[in-house]
Amino acid sequence: MWLSRRKSIPRTPSNSSNFSFSSFKDIQSLCAADYVSDPQHPQPKKPSSIFHRVRLANLVLRSLSTQRRLENASPSNDAVKPSEPSISLQGAENRIVVYFTSLRVVRSTFEDCNTVRTILRGFRVKIDERDLSMDPSFLEELQRILGQLEKTKLTLPRVFIGGRYIGGADEIRQLHETGELKKFVEGLPAAQPGTCEACGGYRFVLCDECSGSHKCYSEKIGFKSCTACNENGLIRCPSCSSGPL
């Protein structure tokens, strides 16, 4: 009187709801593979474990995500950004020009300036070091070159190689670590060995006209500001300095 127990046969999933998006083909085939039966046996193959299917599905999804990132990263002709205008320093094609400060007011800036100068001096090429703390006119000169009128936006050091603007401390460190900085300084004149005897390496000496007082006296006018030196009563060393551009 008991009804015979009918064996349940797993149904093969219908293909009527196939995804139209081509990226899910691998997932469809992965799911369908678990329901393929052996024609010699009425029972289907033992489905793979849920952990195995999840792992394979994750691999497919990661592959899809990687492909999308590569497609988004590929340059498009319609989205090409215009190149930024280059900044150059006229008359400095045969040397390195470094704008820096020797003041210790800001420790990070002072350390960056020393690091950059040490790296550049290691190539033993001609370097024109312009200390803004020794001559304030270098600040106005640098602002004019970079087109920056506000002092708060100007950070040091700033480096020009062969008349071409390279950047600050971060750019010099990166180029030096990758070995690219050596290519920039190739062909530049070699630096003179030793320390300059006239200025002791400071690149400035006292003005001969005012003896460093920045004041000159005449009987007709009296005292007036010296026009041969900066406000600190200094002039660039004639022995080791390249002079103003």
Residues 96 and 163 occupy one common structural domain: yes
Tell me how far apart the alpha carbons of residues 55 and 58 are, in angstroms, rounded to a whole number: 5
64 found inside a domain:
no
Range in 63-77, 176-190, 227-241 with the lowest mean pLDDT? 63-77
Q: Is the per-residue pLDDT at 5 higher than 90?
A: no
Averaged pLDDT score across all residues of the chain? 75
Residues 91 and 173 occupy one common structural domain: yes
Query: What's the confidence (pLDDT) of residue 185?
Result: 94
35 found inside a domain:
no
Residues 170 and 97 occupy one common structural domain: yes
Residues 153 and 223 occupy one common structural domain: no
112 Cβ contact partners less than 8 Å away, ≥ 6 residues apart: 156, 157, 168, 169
Number of other CB atoms surrounding residue 229 within 10 Å: 24
Buried (b) or exposed (e) across 65-89, using 16+ Cβ within 10 A?
Answer: eeeeeeeeeeeeeeeeeeeeeeeeb
36 found inside a domain:
no
Query: What's the confidence (pLDDT) of residue 220?
Result: 82
Query: What's the confidence (pLDDT) of residue 35?
Result: 46
Residues 182 and 200 occupy one common structural domain: no
Q: First and final CA of the chain: distance in angstroms?
A: 113
β-pairing verdict for 222-225 and 158-161: unpaired
- pLDDT single digits (tens) 124-148: 999 999 999 999 999 999 999 888 6
Residues 95 and 140 occupy one common structural domain: yes
46 found inside a domain:
no
Is the Cα dihedral 147, 151, 153, 158 positive or negative? positive
Residues 182 and 209 occupy one common structural domain: no
- pLDDT single digits (tens) 203-222: 899 999 998 889 988 888 88
27 found inside a domain:
no
- How many distinct structural domains can be found in the chain? 2
Containing domain of residue 122, as a range? 86-191
Residues 123 and 207 occupy one common structural domain: no
Residues 182 and 102 occupy one common structural domain: yes
Read off the pTM. Answer: 0.61
173 found inside a domain:
yes
Range in 7-11, 53-57, 178-182, 186-190 with the lowest mean pLDDT? 7-11
Residues 241 and 215 occupy one common structural domain: yes
67 falls in which pLDDT band (50, 70, 90)?
low
* Nearest residue to 94 (alpha-carbon basis) of 222, 200, 185: 185
Tell me how far apart the alpha carbons of residues 101 and 146 are, in angstroms, rounded to a whole number: 17
148 found inside a domain:
yes
181-199 average pLDDT score: 89
Number of other CB atoms surrounding residue 198 within 10 Å: 14
Residues 178 and 224 occupy one common structural domain: no
Query: What's the confidence (pLDDT) of residue 50?
Result: 60
Q: What is the CATH number of the domain that holds 179?
A: 3.40.30.10
Contact 10, 44 (CB under 8 A): yes
120 found inside a domain:
yes
